Each structure stands twice: as structure tokens, then as C-alpha cells.
A and B are shown apart, each in its own frame.
Chain A
Amino acid sequence: MSGGGILLLLTLALWAWRAVDYALIGSLAPLGILAFGAVTLGLGALAKGRWWRSAVRIWGTMMLLAGLARAGLSIALAFDPSVSIHASEAQTAFYHAATALHLVAGIWLIVRPPERPAITRI
């Protein structure tokens, strides 16, 4: 599997985990993002032509925006940690690693989208 393919799967897995975690406590916002991404990628995989690359770039753009939002929050908290103790305590190694994944995957998927997966039509 290509690097882009691995990054695509990693971001989907991360959002699947977030979607389930939040759905269990009553928030469907992450599930909505995941569903939008999954439908876009699914339609892109089934369609002919350049739709797959466009679908991956849409997902990559969403990941890049999420990464920028996460990084922006970290930078804001570095200047004033008292804004929110909850947000400050969220700044763990896992949080920063996930931010890096979003940024790297976002840029990668936009610049070098992986090849369309092979789909066997029945």
C-alpha cells in the first residue's frame, strides 16, 4: 500500500474512533464528518474518471483544516493557558501526534492522492 493509502486509512480510523466515542455520549458531529468523508470517498471509488482523486482531495482538505484548527488551539493556549483548563489539559502527546497526522495526511492527500482501490464489481 502506498504512503498516501496508509495515511488515508489512518485518518479514517482516527475519525471512526472519535465518531464512536462521541456518538456513545450523545454528540453526532464527528460521525457527521466521518459519514460525509466516507460517502464522498465511496462515490469517488465507484465513479469513473477523476472523481476518486477529487474525493481524496476533499477528505485531505478536511483533515488539513482539522489539523490547522488543532494547531491553532495549541498556539492560542501557549499564549494564554487560562482560556480553558479543559483545553489546556487536552494538550497531551497524543493530541500533538494526532495534530501532526492531520497536517501531514491533509497535505499528502491533496498533493499526492493514492490510486483508486481495486473494486470488484459483482
Chain B
Amino acid sequence: MRGSIVRGMGVGALATLLTMSASATGGTGSMDSFIGERATQSQRAHAALQIELALMNAGLESEQRAYRVPNIHWALDLIMPPQTGINVVAQLPASTPSERNIIIGAHYDTVPGSPGADDNASGTYAAIELAERLSELPVRNTNITFVLFDAEEDGAVGSNVFAAEWLASGRPMHSMHNIDMLGYDGNGDGVFDLDAPNGPVADAYLAAADERGIRLVRANFSSSDHVSFRKRGFTAVFLSENLTDGDFNKAYHSPKDTVIDRAYMERGIDLAAGAIEALVAP
């Protein structure tokens, strides 16, 4: 994206901060440690550190990619400062050298005033658990990049920055998999929504759902981080709880978003893992 600035953090400083973060939260990347408002810059910076710690515990090295970019509309550049944020990125290389790349992403920020359990501590946790599971595969024919996006709630800024940088790099991308809100099943029917273009990627999800006895509803969503990839021509998938059949989480974007249905979420993670495993280890 225009003007993005990528910077790394020294390993020593990071280790110190991660230790401080772990002792402050009493956790080492457990799901509970992701629940809590992550709206202000300081809250998001703290969350980014927690995510790095969790990825480290999952066995992956990660980096913070800070960005400073123009606003989502040029007119705002006339009266507002640039937007800043941090994407957290971890690489899981293929077991043999490969040019194939899959991106797995979720946003970690919240709207102000919401603890963001369902939106999107659930997706954050899912991405990290997927990192752990996929890293245990003995053979992978695809490089997998895990990205925890900043500022989805402020116009999908983090994912736009990442997708633009990827496009500029010229590297091929097989598909992007966005997980946003995976922790609410009010009617207990166990259904998930899938927005994916017809083809091998959608087929992988449908097959994984069949194998697990999960009903998937095909849907279309024009918001969230996958859109940042689609508008640049990449294949992108959106997996979420059942948002479309009158089972919408009433706590959405509110202070009441404090609970995750863990059993349901784990089924969603298992579904995503099954589909992505089929794509990276056929």
C-alpha cells in the first residue's frame, strides 16, 4: 500500500516485552488473554505483543509490521493525521521449496467499548490454533503466512496494507482465508457461513464440512479483511459463524461481547484446518 513502512523489533526488546506481557496478563496466549477492548493504539500494541507470544508458543517466529499510511479517503488527508497500526505476521514455509502461498488471517482489533470476544478474539485464536496445527503437518507443499490484521474496524486498514504490499512484491498467492467471528451459535444448530468463489478452495471447505457433518451456508460478505484481497484480484475466503440465518450475535460491537462458545468455535477451527490441510498437503 501507498507509504507503508515496515519495521522490525529487536529480538531482545521483544523478549522483554513479551515476558512483561505474559506476566501482566497471567497467560501465555490463552484465548481469554485475547478478550478485552483492543481499540486504542496502546490497547492494540499490547494485543500485538500477546499475539506474538501466542505464535511463539505455537512454535512460529513472528514479526510486527508497523505501518503509517494515508486515510481511507483522500479528503480525510486534508484534515486528519495518517493512519498507523501493526500487523503481526508469521511464516510457515513449505516442507520443500515452493512458490505456492496461502494466507490465513484474522483481525485482532475491536470497536471502542467492546471486549470483542466473538469479534474477533475468536478469529484471532482460530488463526493461532491453525498455525499450531498446520505446523505439525509432516509434509506441506505450500508456504503459509499467518497475519493478524490491525484496524479492520476502522476500514480494514491493516489488511489493505498487507494485500497491497503482497501485490507489489509480485509473489503468487493461491488463496487468502479470513476468519472473522467464529464464537457464537445462538440457536445451537452448528452451522457456519462460507463466502468463497466456486472452485477448488470452496470444494475443499465443502468436503471438510461433509467429513465432519457440518452444515455450511454459502453467503456473500462485502466487508471484513478478505475484501482487501479480492479487490486486488486474489482468491479470498471468508469463514464465520452463521451470520445470515437470523442467528446474528446480539452482542455484536457492544460491551456485552464477552463470551465465546468454545465447542462451536473448535468445530469451526477444525473445519478450516481440514480444508486448508487438503490444500497444502494433498
Interface residues of A (CB under 8 A from B): 18, 21-22, 24-27, 29-30, 33, 66, 69-70, 73, 81-82, 84-90, 95
Contacts and interface: CB of A to CB of B under 8 A. Distances in A.
Contacts of A27: 2-3, 70-71, 74, 77
Interface stretch (B55-63, B80-88, B115-123, B127-135): B80-88
Nearest to B76: A87
Nearest to B82: A25
Contact of A86 (B1, B77, B79, B151): B151
Interface string B221-261: 00000000000000000000000000000000000000000
Contacts of B70: 22, 25-27, 29
User: Interface of chain B, helix or strand or loop or mixed?
Assistant: loop
Interface of B: 1-5, 39-41, 68-71, 74-75, 77-83, 111-113, 151, 153-154, 157
Contacts of A81: 112
Given A25-B68, A88-B112, A90-B80, 14 more contacts: A21-B82, A22-B82, A24-B3, A25-B3, A26-B2, A27-B74, A30-B78, A33-B78, A69-B78, A73-B80, A82-B112, A85-B153, A86-B154, A89-B41
Nearest to A67: B79
A39 to B, nearest CB: 17
A25 B182 CA distance: 35
Contact of B80 (A26, A33, A87): A87
A25 B112 contact: no
B181 to A, nearest CB: 18
Nearest to B164: A26
B75 A84 contact: no
Contacts of A22: 70, 77, 82
A29 B39 CA distance: 28
A76 B281 CA distance: 52
Nearest to B43: A85
Nearest to A24: B3
